[in-house]
A and B are shown apart, each in its own frame.
Chain A
């Protein structure tokens, strides 16, 4: 059954160790993982909306009720991406040991036509492998080398008999490790990047299919701060941005210390003190990783603090990419922010209380999408035993 590892070792001239195989997500890690990235740059004026008068917070309860009565929710599509990573072995190249990381990636989008019709419309569900870049011993382009491995790899009987296909072999950097770094994390990051790439492809597909419009928004789980919204070419950038005109990113968990107001004071306490159905003003910022793309971000509370376990439970962080010049200059229209927030408030029920600890921050349709994607994974035992 170890033919896969044998093949990898053989075709990359390394040697395998048959080390203990495990799934990273199944190992308890006492670590707070935030959905948002650390390196963000607040714009100079920091004000991300047209209403410059809002200093503390405003209630959206009435608007939410009004919208609820109309029975026309803004969000029709829900997107989530998820990956599960495994350490399948260690491999030695040049007297150094590198982990082989395998991953299952699932990205899916569900459509809600009416309250009782919730169906998946797109699902990208595939397997990937992350190897150290030095597995490519010659000076051929990494992408070319690893791509050429894939067909041979998938031809192995152990995979062929079960109809299982690996879609990508990704190289992770084999640079010397800094303190606290691990090759495992680099491999996982590669698989994570692959997942976000897949998410982006999915958004493009939705736009191409003309599904998104101002009455049918896409709600994406997690931040929109993708690593590679490449700047440079202005036409490319505007095309990418326009894809995100009707996309809203919602993060369940966020680093409150990142948020600072105009006077550069932390607003963590303001967020914790938000009253039910109130939102903060929107802030404008850009992420280091995606230069040229500016975001509007705001926070609001969907659950009463007395009914949750921590002050940040029940608070959502919402992001939207500023698309037009007008938006970039003046910030996102405050009415739009209110409309999005009020619609999100209406998505707060039902909850997944009991099945997910983050129930207070979960939006049910997103939770369903996530559950669906995860349900399509191969079981850990099965997957690990392929290797």
Chain B
């Protein structure tokens, strides 16, 4: 608690100032409440003050006294949260408003009549203790609301130190629970964790000059330096750890409250009297060998053998399957036990681990409890390195360790879809163990898993499968989202990866697909959507069809030939040669717009530009050509979402397309103006990676494949397509994908007959140079 002295000094300074403002008056006192009452003032904190009086003055005199104190504070631009009350008034408001009573629980005398402050404290504490059975459930509900609204500080990229679960408000609630005398709370670690978060808050206020409680990404490097951490990652890891300590302490405390209140209810009334005449001990129901359910927790049975090294896994899997927390006392006893699993693990130990992993959402709190008490790292030493490891990108909602647990939970939902559910769950557990080490985490993870799999007692062929799944766990998404599924070259890397596995190729592909789905879902909403799920499904079906010996549909066939010809016919019949139609919107405002226009170089750039002008976000595009009579038409199927509100009117779109083809709508100029305005107001975030442009030589059997990865900005696709059109290349197909802030666009290009387009050729170099220029 490096800055605890600073906080106290600031409180002392305010005390002296307020005492001077109040002066020598009788029948009144200034009382510090809330954070000020706890002497935890940060530079940007409010002063929470109550002007307490004995009611002997009339209202005008009270107002005059209040004015003489508040105006100097306002004029000094110090933020003030004030109230003026008698003891009776304070008591009355406290009984109705939880926030008021929580503040008053920390009431501290600052100036004036100390007897008034003492009387206030006594009556507020007495009321709090008396009303605790009613008020504590309210406080708990508030905690759940905060969690739902603000998320968990341990896992947010830019968490709110105060409001997030595991933050400062949760830490304060422990004090309120202790003050109620209903249940004791964990001590020591939570207080140290709170002190650390207060230090971070102190530095945040000092550095930013404002009362900020969120640690924004762009401030983390400087905050880390101020707090003498080696890097922002180390700082955020410490914040995550502190938040988890507080959150876990709150979980334990609230369970104790629940048990204490349940015991009170059992003991009270007529039925309580009757029970006290007999055996009033709570029932214990067996859950597994050496494990019972007691008072809403999974606990060690009286006869449990603490020398059994599988016992921790057994109690954990029983608890997770039953959706119960593990009793803290049992955890302490297990943590102190010297029993160690042999290597390799016996089969029944592995079975319990898999039962635990397959438990679904019940896994999360149990896994956290095992980690908090040091039991997990005895079972899986690999976990130490990735605990609270931050993920420095906006796509991931969670830290690495929590992401893995979430992936396992989502994998558990999918176990019915695969024969080897055990390998799916194990792969979900292992897939990101390589993170935080230098190099490609897939490769380093595969090495780690090779040893871990043996230690867990998996047979050699299963270890080979786990290694292959870990090494290639990003491959399926890459192919599904960024490659043309109809191109035979797309499936080649997938089938090659299957050859490394110890299981059959069809089973491997199924496992990889489900692992990918689980991983994407656990990553966050920027990565997982029904649109993505459909891409994964399509690739999976195609791969399974090929493995079953069915003929792959040809590259040119996308299953839309008839629809394309119909749309091309509509375009041919229209005076302006354009047809536009919309397919009914899908989930979350995503829809499809199909366009047919005369096939010419630059057609993609033209339509992309018009869509951008109308604030339409492009998620993906499929291109083909169809003939109507002797004229060829470019048929484009755009999967889109509106940037604001709803998708634009089709008539308007068509008018714009017509004007753009005629040259009267200057798309490039309009987009350039918008880009300039946007650049003036939107600064690029520090650390944004540079765009990459590359050719993928083996990605297609029939086309030159160009891949562009760049920050997703309006008009990006138009600029890239226009640059490609400038080389004379024809865009046959395109896979457009946005991943949070990044666009990954893949274009399947064909050039004139006889053109040399290998990497390094003049054509290829010109193409790459033009696209790079367009990105700048």
Q: Do A and B form a real pair?
A: no
